[in-house]
Amino acid sequence: MKKILFINTFILSASLACSQDTLSLQQQINSAKPGKTHFLFTGYAFSEFKFSEDGNSFLAGSFAPIFLVKPSDKVFFEAEIETEFEEGELMIELEYADINYSIAKNMTVRAGKFLLPFGTFAERLHPAWINRLPSKPLGFDHNGVGPFSDVGVELRGGLQTGKSKTNYAFYVVNGAVLDDGMNNSATAGMLMYENYEDNNKNKTIGGRIGFLPFSNSSLEIGISGQYGKVGTDKTIYENVFAQMFAADFSYMKSFEKLKSVIDIKGQINMVNVDKADYADTSAMGAYTFDNKNTAYYSQISLRPALSKNKIIQNIEAVARYSSITQPEKSLWAENAVQWDFGLNYWLGWRSVLKLAYQIHQPEMMKQENIFTVQMAIGL
């Protein structure tokens, strides 16, 4: 009887242990399943060293984590935080944070703070691991000529139109704010972008239409526009509006004879603000000016990616010309032209070592020459 009891106890214990092992294995399998919510932590970072006549310095660069969450097939969330050192202080900015909902196959609505499709540089090309040069073109940074990002709602998508493709993006946002010079008369008439709260009841509308005429998507031409009130309600500037236009192009092609891929990109931004009177605190009078701003760049890069030599195929040569023109009679005009020449070495598909030489020629001022070494990585 005792023997039977012992055997039963042994079998029970063994089966329990076995079932626990099975349960443990099942738990491990379940924990490895991705579930319906998909999440990705990505982003980019860079660090650089600059040589110029003013001095040589290591710069801390920037770290920009990006969070992507896909809770379901129709819902998507993206956010980027940009952190960098500026004048000894750690600056943290929310580059974008927006919720997307797929309404139809080729139509998505999004709301929040998002990069604006005003041309392509701000939205697609500015991250350090994508930008072929360490610097941005003149007038294409935050608070340059034209908007970079804003808060609002947007509708966008891409369509196959026969052999060609068309993409669209239309948005309603808070819009830019006109600096009335009350805090600093030297900046009167400037536009300030990326405003979390609007300064008037009017909303700014804008959008971009892109057209890719060739079936291999090698060429894209886009036009963008934005229109809205920039003056603050219940001030003398309440009827001041700004009209903005941009045109962009991108052409990329492999040339077998050169064993290379050539990439040409360019964009022009134009911002016109209605004429207004501004107070000049130093002269105790009022002045006005034609508030028209233009910035453009064109860039060409060549990479012998089709070469059989593994070192040569990772080298890339880049040249860029950019220009900024601001209102002559304003107190903040900084007209300049700039040449940037670069030689890159791609360590992987998303990490690059850039060597660049910049010739910056401000109007009526001494030319500046800067040599930069930058290491950039996509995470």
CA-to-CA distance for 250 and 164, rounded, in angstroms?
15
253 lines the binding site for another protein (CB under 8 A)? no
Nearest to 120 by CA among 205, 9, 198, 219: 219
Number of residues that bind another protein (CB under 8 A): 46
Minimum CB distance to another protein, residue 4 (Å): 52
Determine the interface stretch with another protein among 6-14, 45-53, 102-110, 290-298 (rule: CB under 8 A).
Answer: 102-110
CA-to-CA distance for 324 and 319, rounded, in angstroms?
17
Nearest to 225 by CA among 245, 197, 195, 248: 245
The DSSP code for 6 is H
Say if residues 112 and 194 touch (Cβ distance below 8 Å). no
Applying CB under 8 A, among 52, 83, 106, 335 the residue interacting with another protein is: 106
Applying CB under 8 A, among 49, 52, 65, 68 the residue interacting with another protein is: 68
158 lines the binding site for another protein (CB under 8 A)? yes
The residue among 60 and 107 lying less far from another protein, judged by its C-beta, is 107
- The amino acid that residue 260 corresponds to is S
The residue among 95 and 198 lying less far from another protein, judged by its C-beta, is 95
Say if residues 196 and 211 touch (Cβ distance below 8 Å). no
Minimum CB distance to another protein, residue 341 (Å): 21
* DSSP output for 171-226: EEE---EE--SSS-GGGTT-EE---SS-SSS--EEEEEEEEE-STT--EEEEEEEE
Applying CB under 8 A, among 60, 112, 143, 165 the residue interacting with another protein is: 165
Say if residues 149 and 159 touch (Cβ distance below 8 Å). no
313 lines the binding site for another protein (CB under 8 A)? no
Minimum CB distance to another protein, residue 314 (Å): 10
65 lines the binding site for another protein (CB under 8 A)? no
Measure the CA angle with vertex 26, ends 24 and 29; round to 5°: 110
- Whose structure tokens read 């050169």? 258
70 lines the binding site for another protein (CB under 8 A)? yes
Determine the interface stretch with another protein among 9-17, 157-165, 283-291, 358-366 (rule: CB under 8 A).
Answer: 157-165
359 lines the binding site for another protein (CB under 8 A)? no
Minimum CB distance to another protein, residue 252 (Å): 6
Q: Which positions lie near another protein, rule CB under 8 A? A: 34, 38-40, 42, 68-70, 76, 78, 100, 105-106, 108, 110, 123-125, 129-130, 156-165, 167-169, 210, 215-218, 220, 250, 252, 261, 346, 349-350, 378
